[in-house]
Amino acid sequence: MLAFSTMAEATLDPRLISETVDRLRLRVQKRFPGSGLEKVAAQLSSIAAKASATSEWIARPIVYLRVLVHALIGLIVLGLGLTLWALPLPEGRLQLAEFIQVLESGINDVVLIVAAVFFLASLETRMKRNRALRSIHELRAIAHVIDMHQLTKDPEWVLARGAETGVLPTRAMTPFELSRYLDYCSEMLSITGKIAALYIQHFDDSVALQAVNEVESVTTGLSGKIWQKLMILYTLHGMAQGADPRDAAARPEIPDAI
């Protein structure tokens, strides 16, 4: 299902993304009930549900904060104006040393005032950035958790089992089940990147954008490793069936079913 709204400008739809994750969770639950991957899919579904509210909060202006910031900036400007108005004018001409001293003091005051105004003006952006970065960090972590689940899923081992060491749990997947497992992992990684993009869809911040790009880079790289395993699985399965691995028809059919 497409996770885009039908507006003139294409945007990610949090509701459709959440529905896609829920459907994926059900597919994993039906195919691998009680597995660790099912728990990860449930966690990703919970994150997707929260992402909608978080992205809306980030996109929405914080009205009370803006009013407070503008009031404080107005007080600073008013206080500066009253201070300048109350200053007594010097009698006679200023000596060079006195002029330099007054100029230096004035520049220091202006720098401090500008810094205070900038701090207040950027307060809303920094609050939204911190919340976005916390959410993006959560997605980065779950991407690595997904990678850990597919780490021991070796296609060569499935088709040519060796002696068990007793260290890892018993692995009894068929080639079809392994292809489904790896495909589910790849789908979850792809959705993880889409959820990350939600946080910056209406939030133009370079720091948050860089964090999202890093998450998408991580998920794309991990998904690439999974697809390498799938290609190996298709090739080895075709060889095990006595077919030419170069023949596309020799690949096992993997329908888009649960």
DSSP state, residue 201: T
Instruction: Note down pLDDT in tens along the chain; length 258 residues.
Output: 445 454 445 688 888 999 999 999 999 999 999 889 999 999 999 999 898 888 888 888 777 777 777 777 777 777 667 666 665 655 656 566 655 665 666 667 667 777 777 777 778 888 899 999 999 999 999 999 999 998 888 887 766 655 666 666 666 778 888 899 999 999 999 999 999 999 988 888 889 999 999 999 999 999 999 999 988 888 876 644 544 444 444 444 444 444
Q: How far apart are CA 163 and CA 212, in angstroms?
A: 43
* DSSP secondary structure code for residue 91 in this structure: S
Residue with tokens 């739809």: 13
Identify the pLDDT of residue 153: 84
pLDDT confidence of residue 47: 93
For residue 92, how many other CB atoms are within 10 A of its CB?
5
Taking the C-alpha atoms of residue 231 and residue 149, their distance in angstroms, rounded to an integer, is 18
Which tokens is 188 given? Answer: 């979850």
| Rounded Cα gap, residues 5 and 227, in angstroms | 29
* Alpha-carbon gap, residue 11 to 3, rounded angstroms: 8
The DSSP result for 119-185, as a single string, is HHHTHHHHHHHHHHHHHHHHHHHHHHHHHHHHTT--HHHHHS-----SSSPP----HHHHHHHHHHH
Q: What is the CA radius of gyration of the chain?
A: 29
| Location of structure tokens 């958790």 | 145
> Model-level pTM?
0.72
Q: What is the pLDDT of residue 250?
A: 40
pLDDT (0 to 100) of residue 1: 47
